[in-house]
Amino acid sequence: MSDYLKQGIIYGATLIGVTAATLIGITTFTKLQHPPITSVQRGFRGTAIAQLYDPAELAAAQAASKVPRSLPPASAAGVKASVAYKNVRVLGNLSVGQFTRLMVSITNWVAPKQGCAYCHNVANMADDANYTKIVARRMIQMTQNINGNWQSHVQNVGVTCYTCHGGNPVPKNIWFNNPGPESAGGLAETQTGMAHPTERINYSSLPYDPFTPYLEQDHSIRVQSTTALPTDDLSSIKETEWTYALMIHFSQSLGVNCTYCHNTRSFGNWAESSPARVNAWYGIRMVRDLNNHYLDPLNSVFPAYRKGVLGDSPKVYCATCHQGVYKPLFGVSMVKTFPELQGPPASPTAAVEPPAAAAPTAPAAPTPPH
Ligand code: HEC
Ligand code: HEC
Ligand code: HEC
Ligand code: HEC
């Protein structure tokens, strides 16, 4: 056998080996979606605004989002909670029956394993010693604010504690300010998140924290220039990357493609977008309101172990409520039989700790951009 032939056989065998290993790798490590995939047209014909569903995945998500049955409503008659109890500052208008029903429901939604003692000093229910009770009181007002002032987003479906908590004291999807990995600084400094893929933006090599500028601060989510020549438009490559990172979070949180909201021919064009994009626009403003007026001001109440590396409060984003579904709990409304959570908060400035910083401001009626 000539040397050339031997070498050829060795190369050939190696090639076959590598190809087989790659194929096995691909089938093992990627989730290939097999047909049928359902396509639903959601925009005008010809705009390519179609939504692709994998029926098997959809069925699995539906099975995972079980809605617990609500307790039967209690009578509004009888002694008021404000009279019966010592330290009721938000729910005083409820009858004792309604109040008790809500306490039991809250326990089921937030602390089913831990029970009343998760928030209460059971030797003295009026005691506010546990930080969890102070947070919970504020959460009741936050829920009333969402349902009462943000119908532009939650419509009449609304939310209860269960929407975010789903039976856990700490909701599954929360976020903190993220300073990113330590870097050497100087020329080696990279703030862009390149080569630092994170799960929460689908392992893309985009900025790891698009949430602080857009869902806590109110930076403008715009990358497309509206004029042909540069004017005072400061849109940059950096802002484009931040925007795309945020948009990937939107898609992931709702379990949808970009075309659920956009006509990808022109991302910025509202006239060609689907109505869901307007809903999302209000959602962004609602999330900013929740973070700025409820979670951030609770900073002094949360213990250090609940805070982020920078000492900031845990925060809400789209995934906190949506959890991979286009409408939380597939649009089932749990708040219908809980008028006390429908809000808006009766006395937004009720003496609830921490008083000064926490007073919620009614959100200014937002108008969708054109
Ligand atoms: C997730 C936190 C949380 C859980 C769990 C919880 N509560 Fe409460 N509870 C509160 C808050 C907050 C208040 C104060 C409400 C207000 O100020 O309007 C309160 C107030 C009360 C009061 C009034 C006490 C007083 O004299 O001021 C009673 C009674 C009570 N809860 C009973 C219960 C019972 C019984 C359970 C268990 C079935 C329970 N709670 C579970 C948060 C909780
Ligand atoms: C929009 C989402 C959302 C809704 C609705 C919501 N919560 Fe929360 N809740 C949060 C977030 C975010 C936190 C911060 C998580 C943490 O404490 O680490 C939190 C924290 C809490 C905590 C503190 C838990 C701990 O161990 O630190 C309690 C208690 C609580 N919520 C009770 C309630 C109650 C009661 C309701 C309904 C009246 C409610 N929440 C509704 C998002 C929500
Ligand atoms: C749930 C709806 C929704 C989904 C899904 C979504 N977007 Fe967006 N997108 C919006 C909204 C709302 C804005 C405008 C935000 C604002 O003005 O505050 C926006 C803005 C943008 C912009 C800026 C447009 C401009 O005016 O400069 C781009 C680019 C963009 N999205 C791309 C994407 C991409 C790429 C995806 C998929 C990865 C995506 N979007 C998924 C709702 C969505
Ligand atoms: C407090 C919980 C909560 C948060 C946080 C939240 N949403 Fe929603 N969202 C809802 C509820 C409830 C509905 C259902 C309302 C309805 O029937 O249209 C909804 C509906 C939507 C819809 C309409 C879906 C459709 O098919 O009509 C879009 C789009 C959407 N949300 C996007 C977002 C985006 C983007 C964010 C983050 C910026 C966000 N939401 C944050 C509760 C929330």
Residues 309 and 297: their CA atoms lie apart, in Å, by 17
Reported pTM? 0.88
**Distance in Å, CA 367 to ligand 4 centroid:** 17
Residues 245 and 199: their CA atoms lie apart, in Å, by 11
pLDDT values of the chain reduced to their tens digit, one per residue, 370 residues:
567 667 766 666 666 665 665 555 554 445 556 677 888 777 667 766 777 778 888 888 888 878 899 999 999 999 999 999 999 999 999 999 999 999 999 999 999 999 999 999 999 999 999 999 999 999 999 999 999 999 999 999 999 999 999 999 999 999 999 887 776 666 655 555 666 777 778 888 788 889 999 999 998 888 877 677 766 655 677 788 889 999 999 999 999 999 999 988 889 889 888 899 999 999 999 999 999 999 999 999 999 999 999 999 999 999 999 999 999 999 999 999 999 999 888 654 443 343 333 333 434 444 444 4
Tokens of 173: 């999807």
- Classify residue 275: in a domain, yes or no: yes
Q: Ligand 1: does its nearest atom lie under 6 Å from the Cβ of 89?
A: yes
Q: What is residue 349's predicted lDDT score, i.e. its pLDDT?
A: 42
Q: Ligand 2: does its nearest atom lie under 6 Å from the Cβ of 334?
A: no
**CATH number reported for the structural domain that contains residue 238 in this entry:** 1.10.468.10
- Classify residue 209: in a domain, yes or no: yes
Tokens of 309: 């590396």
Residues 180 and 335: their CA atoms lie apart, in Å, by 38
- Classify residue 46: in a domain, yes or no: yes
- State which of 161, 168, 298, 335 you would mutate to test the pocket of ligand 2, scoring each by most atoms of that ligand within 8 A of its C-beta: 161
Q: Ligand 3: does its nearest atom lie under 6 Å from the Cβ of 284?
A: yes
Residues 330 and 321 sit within 8 Å (Cβ to Cβ): no
**Distance in Å, CA 176 to ligand 1 centroid:** 28
Nearest CA to ligand 1 atom 32: 103
- Classify residue 31: in a domain, yes or no: no
- State which of 201, 247, 253 you would mutate to test the pocket of ligand 3, scoring each by most atoms of that ligand within 8 A of its C-beta: 247
Closest alpha carbon to 318 in 145, 139, 164? 164
End-to-end distance of the chain based on CA atoms, in angstroms? Answer: 76
**Distance in Å, CA 49 to ligand 4 centroid:** 19
Closest alpha carbon to 194 in 223, 258, 237, 250? 237
C-alpha 35 chain-centroid distance: 30
Q: How many residues does the chain have?
A: 370
**Distance in Å, CA 45 to ligand 3 centroid:** 21
Tokens of 82: 């404000």
Nearest CA to ligand 1 atom 37: 116
Closest atom of ligand 4 relative to the 261 alpha carbon: 29
Residues 327 and 322: their CA atoms lie apart, in Å, by 6
Q: What is residue 265's predicted lDDT score, i.e. its pLDDT?
A: 86
Closest atom of ligand 3 relative to the 284 alpha carbon: 18
- State which of 94, 110, 157 you would mutate to test the pocket of ligand 2, scoring each by most atoms of that ligand within 8 A of its C-beta: 110
Closest alpha carbon to 298 in 348, 341, 360? 360
- State which of 262, 269, 288, 317 you would mutate to test the pocket of ligand 3, scoring each by most atoms of that ligand within 8 A of its C-beta: 262
- Classify residue 21: in a domain, yes or no: no
Residues 173 and 256: their CA atoms lie apart, in Å, by 18
Q: Ligand 3: does its nearest atom lie under 6 Å from the Cβ of 91?
A: no
Residues 209 and 176: their CA atoms lie apart, in Å, by 9
Domain count, the chain: 1
User: What domain range includes position 198?
Assistant: 41-181+191-223+234-358
Is residue 59 packed enough to be buried (19+ CB in 10 Å), middle (13-18) or exposed (0-12)?
exposed
Residues 192 and 238 sit within 8 Å (Cβ to Cβ): yes
Residues 119 and 132 sit within 8 Å (Cβ to Cβ): yes
- Classify residue 245: in a domain, yes or no: yes
Contacts of 174 (CB under 8 A, 6+ apart): 314, 315, 316, 317, 320
**Distance in Å, CA 65 to ligand 2 centroid:** 19
Residues 366 and 223: their CA atoms lie apart, in Å, by 21
Residues 147 and 156 sit within 8 Å (Cβ to Cβ): no
Residues 348 and 86: their CA atoms lie apart, in Å, by 20
Q: Ligand 1: does its nearest atom lie under 6 Å from the Cβ of 107?
A: yes
Q: Ligand 2: does its nearest atom lie under 6 Å from the Cβ of 104?
A: no
**Distance in Å, CA 97 to ligand 4 centroid:** 32
- Classify residue 279: in a domain, yes or no: yes
- Classify residue 364: in a domain, yes or no: no
Closest alpha carbon to 300 in 363, 221, 356, 247? 356
Q: Ligand 3: does its nearest atom lie under 6 Å from the Cβ of 287?
A: no
Residues 188 and 199 sit within 8 Å (Cβ to Cβ): no
